[in-house]
Structure 1
Amino acid sequence: MSGTVIATHGLRKSFGAVRAVDGIDLDVRAGDVYGFLGANGSGKTTTVRMLLGLVLPTAGTVEVLGRPIPKAGREVLPRVGALIEGPAAYGHLSATANLSLSDASGPGGSRRTRKARIGEVLDQVGLGGVGKRAVRGFSLGMRQRLGLAGALLRRPDLLVLDEPTNGLDPQGIHEIRELLLDLNRTGTTVFLSSHLLAEIEQLATRVGVLDRGRMVLQDDLATLTAPTGATVVDTPRAAQAREVLGDRVLSADGDRLVVRGSEPAEVNAVLVGAGVPVHGLTLQRPTLEEVVLAAAAGSGDRVQAGAAS
C-alpha cells in the first residue's frame, strides 16, 4: 500500500449554531502512525466518525484508501479496523462470543478460520487467558482491549482508533503501544486520536492538531521537534558560565543554561577551557507539548466552547 490513506478537503460539521469541525484538511500517508491531537471537545471524535461514514459532513470531502466516503464505504470499510468512543459489547457473552458475532469474512479471514483468528487477536491484546469470561466482569481497560481486538479481526490496512488506551494502567498502555508499533512495522497505517501528548510523542511519525474545530498544525513529528539551533548546558557554576559565554546565553534557570550554538562540543571546550565544570550538554529540542501549545495559542478565532467532541 502506498500514497495517501486519508485525505479530507474543507471538512466541516455543524450542529445547529455550533461548528464542531471547521474546514480541516487531513493528510495521512501510507505507513504513518498519525497522532490526531486535541483537547476534549476539540472535534476529534466528530472527525473520526465522518472518516468512517458514521456522520455526514456539513461540507467538504473525505477519502479513505483512495475512495470517497461514505459513497464507497461498503468497498473500503472492510479494510479498516476502528475503535471509537469506547467498545460496545454484550455483557452476558464472553469475549470470544462477542468477537464471533463480528463478520470475519472480510479480507483478513474467512468464516472457516474465524475461531483461530479470534484466539490470535485476543492473544495480541492480552486477553488470551480470559476469552471465555463474561464481558460484564471486565474492567474498563479489559473492555478497551476487547474493542481493539475487534478492530484487528480482519487484519486491516488502516486502524482508526479513538483514545485506545483509555482505562489502561501504565503497563497496559505500554503493551498497546508496542502492539501498535509492531502492526505499523508490518504495514498497517495507524490513525490515533488522543489528548495524551506524551503517548503520541512516543508513537507518532506524523501529527495533526485540532483546536476547537480547526486544524492548527500538521507535520512530521521529526520536523516539529527538530533542534532549535541552541545547546542546553548543565553546570553547577551557572553564574561563571554566563560570564564566560556572554550574550550567547539565551536563558538561564538554576544550573541550566540555553546557549546560542548547535555544536555542544564547541560550547563544552569554551567552558572547560575557562575552568567551568560541565555536567551535561544536549541540543535543545522543543517537546511536542511546547509545539502544540504554541500552535493552539496562535490559532486566532475559535468556535465557541461546548462543541461536540
Structure 2
Amino acid sequence: MITTRALTKRYGSIVAVNAVDLQVAEGDRYGFLGPNGSGKTTLVRMLLGLVYPTSGEITVLGEKIPSRAARVLPQVGSLIEGPAAYPYLSGRRNLALMDAAGSRDSRKARRARIEEVLEQVGLAGLDARPVKAYSLGMRQRLGIAGALLRKPRLLILDEPTNGLDPQGIHEMRDLLIALNQAGTTVFLSSHLLSEIEQLCTRVGIVDRGNLVLEDDLTALRAPTGRVVVESPDSDKIAELLNGQLSDRAGDQLFIKHTDAAELNAWLVGEGLRISSITAERLSLEQVVLAATGPGADRIDGDAS
C-alpha cells in the first residue's frame, strides 16, 4: 500500500527526512512514531503529494507519488495537521462541499453518504451550528468523517484522537479497527503510545529524520526472559529463588525464567500462593525510548 525508497527531504542545510525506506502492507494498522521534530509530518505530507521530496521514491497503492497523485488520492482518506473546514458553515455543509468535488453521484446518494460517515464518527445528531462553534473534539470527528467520505482503501491520519476525551478515544479506536477489518489499511501517526499499542499491528519509529525501527508490534514487544510474580508469599519466593531473582518491588518479583506456566506450577507445588504471574514483555514506550535519542525540541545548556 505504501512503499518509500531512500526518501529524503531537505530544507537548505536541514535534513527533515533522511533516506527512509518505509513498507506498509495491505491490511496493516501501522503506527508511525517519533519525537517532536523527527520528520513524521513531513514524511506524511510527502505521501500525499503535499510536499515534494528532494530525492527518493514514493509508491502509494501501486502508483508513483507525486506524479500519479490525481489517480491515487481519490482512494485515500486523510487528516493531516488538524481538520480543515469553512468556519461559518455547518458540518454537514462542509462535508457536502467536500463530497461534491469530482463526484458523479446523485445528490440523494451524497446526502446518504454524509449521514453514514457522521454516524460512524459519533456526529449523527449534528445541528446547524457553524463549525467555528464546535469543540476541538467535534472538529476532529468532523475531519475524520471527511476522510471517510469516499470509502477509502487507505486511511492516512495524523494524531486522529487529538482533542477527544477518553470515551472518544475509545470510540475512535473501535472505529479504526472495524474499518481495518472491513478492508481499509490504516496508517497513523500519534504521540499516544498506549493507543498505538492497543490499535496497531505494525510500527515504524523515526528519529531525527531517520527510520530507526520498523517491525510487527508483537515482535517488538518480545518477552524479556523474566517472569513477573506477585504473591503474598513474596519473601519466601525471594529466598527460594535467590539466584534467579533479578529485581523486586514490594510483593512483585522479577524472576529470570522463560516459562511462566512452568514456574507457576513449581511454586504452587511448593505450597506458595500466587496472586498473578506473567511473562514480562517490553512496553512500546520502552521500545521507543531505546530506539530514539533525546527530544529534538530540547535546548540543553552548559551546567557550569
With the length of structure 2 as denominator, give the TM-score of the two structures.
Answer: 0.92
* Letter of the 2:187 counterpart: F
Match for residue 288 of structure 1 among 262, 266, 284? 284
SS at match of 1:102: helix
Task: Quote the residue 1:206 is aligned against.
Answer: 202
Shift of residue 262 of structure 1? 2.5
SS at match of 2:36: coil
Alignment of 1:100 with 2:105, yes or no, is no
Once the two structures are overlaid, the 10-residue window that deviates more, 47-56 or 116-125, is 116-125
SS at match of 1:290: helix
Task: Quote the residue 2:118 is aligned against.
Answer: 122
Task: Quote the residue 2:165 is aligned against.
Answer: 169
Task: Quote the residue 2:69 is aligned against.
Answer: 73
Distance 2:247 2:151 in 1: 50
Task: Quote the residue 1:232 is aligned against.
Answer: 228
Task: Quote the residue 1:195 is aligned against.
Answer: 191
Counterparts of 1:1-309 in structure 2 under 5 Å?
A: 5-104=1-100, 110-112=105-107, 113-297=109-293
* Letter of the 2:163 counterpart: G
Identity %: 58
Note if contact 1:206-1:220 (Cα within 8 Å) is conserved in structure 2.
yes
Note if contact 2:32-2:40 (Cα within 8 Å) is conserved in structure 1.
yes
* Letter of the 1:150 counterpart: G
SS at match of 1:53: coil
Note if contact 1:35-1:200 (Cα within 8 Å) is conserved in structure 2.
yes
Note if contact 2:30-2:186 (Cα within 8 Å) is conserved in structure 1.
yes
Note if contact 1:30-1:189 (Cα within 8 Å) is conserved in structure 2.
yes
Shift of residue 185 of structure 1? 0.6
SS at match of 1:232: strand
Note if contact 2:35-2:296 (Cα within 8 Å) is conserved in structure 1.
no
SS at match of 1:20: strand
Shift of residue 189 of structure 1? 0.2
Note if contact 2:35-2:295 (Cα within 8 Å) is conserved in structure 1.
no
Per-residue CA shift, 1:139-161, capped at 9, x if unaligned?
A: 01101111101100000000000
With the length of structure 1 as denominator, give the TM-score of the two structures.
Answer: 0.91
* Letter of the 1:24 counterpart: V
Distance 2:148 2:200 in 1: 19
Note if contact 1:212-1:305 (Cα within 8 Å) is conserved in structure 2.
no
* Letter of the 1:247 counterpart: G
SS at match of 2:87: coil
Change (3 A) 1:231 1:138: same
Distance 1:175 1:73 in 2: 31
Task: Quote the residue 2:301 is aligned against.
Answer: none
Change (3 A) 1:304 1:228: closer
Note if contact 2:36-2:297 (Cα within 8 Å) is conserved in structure 1.
no
* Letter of the 1:286 counterpart: L
Shift of residue 267 of structure 1? 1.6
SS at match of 2:180: helix
* Letter of the 1:110 counterpart: D
Distance 1:265 1:205 in 2: 26
Shift of residue 23 of structure 1? 1.4
Between the two proteins, the alignment pairs up a number of residues equal to: 297
Distance 1:188 1:52 in 2: 17
Change (3 A) 1:106 1:257: farther
Distance 1:304 1:92 in 2: 37
* Letter of the 2:105 counterpart: S
- CA-atom RMSD in angstroms: 1.9
Once the two structures are overlaid, the 10-residue window that deviates more, 255-264 or 8-17, is 255-264
Note if contact 1:235-1:255 (Cα within 8 Å) is conserved in structure 2.
yes
| Runs (5+) with no aligned partner, structure 1 | none
Distance 2:296 2:152 in 1: 36
